[in-house]
């Protein structure tokens, strides 16, 4: 088997790809994962695959994630790191079978948009040093509204106007609207719309007739609806949106022989 690891800011995702193309997916909380299986050696993060009980089963591992340059996977002979965008593009192409699309990846702390032509990335944008419009922002907002992520993800009608996507200032603004008496459904829709407003310029700049939406935030059905409706465009969310980077890594590991 070949494995791909995506060391995200909130979750570590691991994907195994068998010879027959079967996927086996695992998810860990990032902080817990590092505490249990990671350690720092000479400034490098070392993850021991043998400790996870997968050392013998695994032929090769490809990893990606924040600061991927410093990750070293031990316990497996063949290991390497690839950039996050490359991992996500490869995963999206593998899962959708599409060659021309715009990739939108909204993760725990960052967002990426890439234009894909003939299965290759030709241009990309990322957010810069700010967690606005990411999963972290949504987590903060549901805490303020005291609702679940599933509930938030069901509202897109009659959004309340919110101006800030800042994960911190957004809270203050939302509390103000809550006090003003807006219904939770409209507030939830407003939160989803702020994410759309933030990524809209990037999606227009790197436009394609189809958007492949990945990352943990892609589980938000309302946001999918909003993007599709506002841009009049087809939005495809692959079956395991949060695992696309890990799956991309596993595909690269599989091909690297």
Partner 1 sequence: MQEKVGITTTIPVEVIYAAKMVPVDLNNLFIKDDHPQALVEEAELKGYPRNICTWIKGIYAAVLKNKDINTLIAVTQGDCSNTHALMETLQLAGVRVIPFGYPFDRDYDLLKLQIEKLMAALGVTWQQVDETKKRLDLVRQQVWQLDQLTWQQDRITGWDNHLYQISCSDFNGDPEKFGQAVAACLAKALDRPQINTELRLGYIGVPPIMDDLYDYLEERGARVVYNETQRQFTMPFNTSDLVEQYRLYSYPYGIFYRLLDIKKQIALRQLDGIIHYAQSFCYRQIEDLIIRQQLNLPLLTLEGDKPNKLDARTRMRLDAFLDMLR
Binding site for partner 1 (CB under 8 A): 66-69, 82-86, 110, 120-124, 126, 128-129
Which one, of 232, 228, 245, lies nearest residue 27 by Cα?
245
How far are the Cα atoms of 26, 53, 148, 181 from residue 39, in angstroms, in the given order? 20, 17, 34, 49
* Residue 86 Cβ vs partner 1, minimum distance, rounded to whole Å: 5
Nearer to partner 1, 83 or 163 (CB): 83
Nearer to partner 1, 51 or 123 (CB): 123
* Residue 189 Cβ vs partner 1, minimum distance, rounded to whole Å: 30
Residue 207 CB-half CA count within 13 A: 10
Distance CA 253, CA 202 (A): 30
* Residue 148 Cβ vs partner 1, minimum distance, rounded to whole Å: 30
Relative orientation angle of helices 244-255 and 84-96, to the nearest 10 degrees: 90
Nearer to partner 1, 41 or 128 (CB): 128
Nearer to partner 1, 222 or 251 (CB): 251
* Residue 110 Cβ vs partner 1, minimum distance, rounded to whole Å: 7
Distance of CA 168 to the CA centre of its chain: 20
* Residue 244 Cβ vs partner 1, minimum distance, rounded to whole Å: 15
Nearer to partner 1, 67 or 209 (CB): 67
The single residue listed with the structure tokens 């086996």 is 24
């Amino acid at each position: 088997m070949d494995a791909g690891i995506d060391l995200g800011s909130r979750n570590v995702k691991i994907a195994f790809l068998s010879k027959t193309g079967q996927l086996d997916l695992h998810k860990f909380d990032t902080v817990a994962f590092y505490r249990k299986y990671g350690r720092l050696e000479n400034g490098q993060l070392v993850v021991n695959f043998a400790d996870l009980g997968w050392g013998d089963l695994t032929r090769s591992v490809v990893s990606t994630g924040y600061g991927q340059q410093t990750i070293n996977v031990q316990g497996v002979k063949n290991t390497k790191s690839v950039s996050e965008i490359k991992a996500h593009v490869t995963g999206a192409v593998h899962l959708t079978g599409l060659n021309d699309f715009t990739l939108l990846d909204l993760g725990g702390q960052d967002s990426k948009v890439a234009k894909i032509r003939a299965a290759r990335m030709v241009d990309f944008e990322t957010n810069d040093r700010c967690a606005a419009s990411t999963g972290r922002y949504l987590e903060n907002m549901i805490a303020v509204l005291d609702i679940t992520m599933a509930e938030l993800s069901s509202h897109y009608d009659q959004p309340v106007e919110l101006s800030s996507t800042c994960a911190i200032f957004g809270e203050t603004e939302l509390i103000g609207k809550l006090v003003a008496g807006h219904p939770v459904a409209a507030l939830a829709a407003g939160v989803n719309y702020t994410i759309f407003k933030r990524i809209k310029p990037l999606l227009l700049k790197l436009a394609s007739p189809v958007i492949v939406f990945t990352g943990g935030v892609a589980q938000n059905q309302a946001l999918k609806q909003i993007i599709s409706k506002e841009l009049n465009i087809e939005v495809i969310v692959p079956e395991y949106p949060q695992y696309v980077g890990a799956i991309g890594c596993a595909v690269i590991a599989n091909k690297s022989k």
